[in-house]
Structure 1
Amino acid sequence: MFIVIWQFEIAEKKIAAFEAAYGPEGDWALLFRSSPEYRGTELLRDAYVPGSYVTIDRWTSEEAFRAFRKERDGDYEKLDRTCDDLTAKETRIGAYTA
């Protein structure tokens, strides 16, 4: 299993749109589902810090994730630009094997 974790800070007025785009049924998950190697996304909201979120994306392997990025890089970058205005801050926490 290969896991990619991102942390986000979201302005209160953009929370609903962010959750819709980054949740397990959101735009990112729909894009990722084009790969049979994608295993799902979790969206976690911080219980104590308003507007603080973490996403956890799971793939069968690092190779599968890299192949997806190579094949769908244009779509990935386009969606990333579309979602830029939803986040105040975006930080990749890391990419891990399990």
Structure 2
Amino acid sequence: MATTPFVYIWEYVVKKEYLEEFKNVYGSTGDWVQLFQKADGYILTELHQDASNPLRFVTVDFWNSISDRDNFRNQFAKEFTAIDKHCENFTEEERFIGDFNCDTNRFVM
């Protein structure tokens, strides 16, 4: 069965005093990526900082399929909750933008 690569995207407005810690935890070698890498179907995470507002970010998490992401969330729920709780004070705002199918062939499945 073929799968469709997909991403889920979050937007954050970070408290200035947590800026560096936020970038460390959400960046390409941070706590989130280390957890995601334990799961089947994880591809990569991109962290993007707004060019006009350095406290605003989006994360783009790439997975082989939405079911891979959902399986990860079920399998690693305890670890996910622990990191999420650790990070809850980092931000002024946090907003789920959505789940999106990738219109790309850049990933090898």
Which TM-score tier does this pair reach, normalised by the shorter chain?
over 0.9
Identity of aligned residues (%): 32
Q: Which residue of 1 aligns with 2:85?
A: 81
Q: Which residue of 2 aligns with 1:30?
A: 34
TM-score (norm 1): 0.96
RMSD: 0.8
Deviation (angstroms), 1:78: 1.1
Which one has a bigger Cα radius of gyration? 2
Structure 2 portions without partners, runs of 5+: 103-109
For 2:20, give the aligned amino acid: A
Structure (1/2) with the larger helix percentage: 1
Pick one of 48, 68, 79 that aligns with 2:52: 48
Alignment of 1:59-70 (within 5 A): 59-70=63-74
Rounded Cα–Cα distance in structure 1 between residues aligned with 2:35 and 2:12: 19
Structure 1 portions without partners, runs of 5+: none
Rounded Cα–Cα distance in structure 2 between residues aligned with 1:2 and 1:73: 20
The number of residue pairs the alignment matches comes to: 98
Rounded Cα–Cα distance in structure 2 between residues aligned with 1:71 and 1:13: 33
Deviation (angstroms), 1:29: 0.4
TM-score (norm 2): 0.87
Rounded Cα–Cα distance in structure 1 between residues aligned with 2:40 and 2:34: 12
